[in-house]
């Protein structure tokens, strides 16, 4: 009798354990979403990241000038290419624009690594790229993914030479997506906010 009682208890225990409800994927997702929603940047943090955005954009512009210049040593241009890629969010793309003889503008998007590699090998004897001052940085807004987004607008002047003659020149307004994301700092074993450059759009192109 005692043995039958113990077996009954064991059976009930196994039954309850097998039917215990585990957290559903929806519940887990909701919990993660709540955690993301609770991680916010203060106004003071935002101001700091605006300054960092200016620095990142300026650094990228310097790299572009170096990569495009055929007068710079290949080693220096290759290094600038690697450093430029470190500034970008994974999967970022660059839009390039070209004005045709009839005045129409052709726009094409390329992965950032392909754009930079192509910039080094443009079919000109010389390339000169100039940037005007940073025009505008929009306010940062928090996206549903927990990241913060903004945009920076810059003006770029591109000149390509064939021999001593200018064969192509334009001025393009470019809009740079700015992303602030939480990334793992392996050294300190914690997550920290970091500024990345994202997709770059050619919003307006004119002849000089």
In angstroms, the CA 158 to CA 198 distance is 21
Helix (H) or strand (E) holding 1: none
Model confidence pLDDT, tens digit, residues 4-17? 554 444 444 444 44
3-state secondary structure of 96: strand
Judge whether 205 and 172 are in contact, CB under 8 Å. Answer: yes
To the nearest 10 degrees (0 to 180), the angle between helices 112-120 and 74-85 is 170
Model confidence pLDDT, tens digit, residues 34-83? 444 456 888 888 899 999 999 999 999 999 999 999 999 999 999 999 99
Share the mean pLDDT of the chain: 85
Burial 53-67 (b: 16+ CB within 10 A, else e): beebbeebbebbbbb
Model confidence pLDDT, tens digit, residues 111-135? 999 999 999 999 999 999 999 876 6
The structure's pTM equals 0.79
Look up residue 199 and give its DSSP letter: E
- Assign domain 42-207 one CATH number from 2.60.40, 1.10.1060, 3.10.450, 3.40.50: 3.10.450
pLDDT of residue 39: 67
């Amino acid at each position: 009798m005692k043995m039958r009682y113990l077996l009954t208890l064991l059976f009930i225990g196994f039954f309850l354990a097998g039917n215990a409800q585990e957290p559903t994927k929806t519940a887990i997702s909701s919990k993660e979403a709540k955690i993301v929603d609770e991680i916010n940047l203060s106004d003071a943090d935002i101001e700091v990241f605006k300054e960092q955005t200016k620095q990142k954009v300026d650094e990228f512009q310097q790299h572009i000038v170096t990569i495009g210049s055929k007068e710079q040593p290949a080693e220096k241009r290759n290094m600038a290419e690697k450093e430029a890629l470190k500034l970008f969010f994974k999967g970022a793309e660059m839009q390039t624009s070209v004005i045709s003889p009839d005045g129409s503008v052709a726009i094409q998007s390329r992965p950032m690594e392909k754009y930079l590699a192509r910039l080094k090998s443009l079919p000109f004897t010389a390339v000169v790229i100039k940037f005007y001052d940073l025009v505008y940085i929009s306010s940062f807004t928090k996206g549903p993914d927990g990241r913060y987004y903004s945009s920076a607008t810059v003006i770029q002047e591109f000149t390509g030479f064939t021999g001593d003659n200018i064969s192509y020149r334009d001025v393009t307004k470019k809009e740079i997506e700015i992303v602030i994301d939480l990334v793992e700092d392996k050294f300190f074993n914690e997550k920290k906010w970091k500024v990345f450059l994202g997709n770059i759009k050619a919003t307006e192109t004119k002849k000089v």
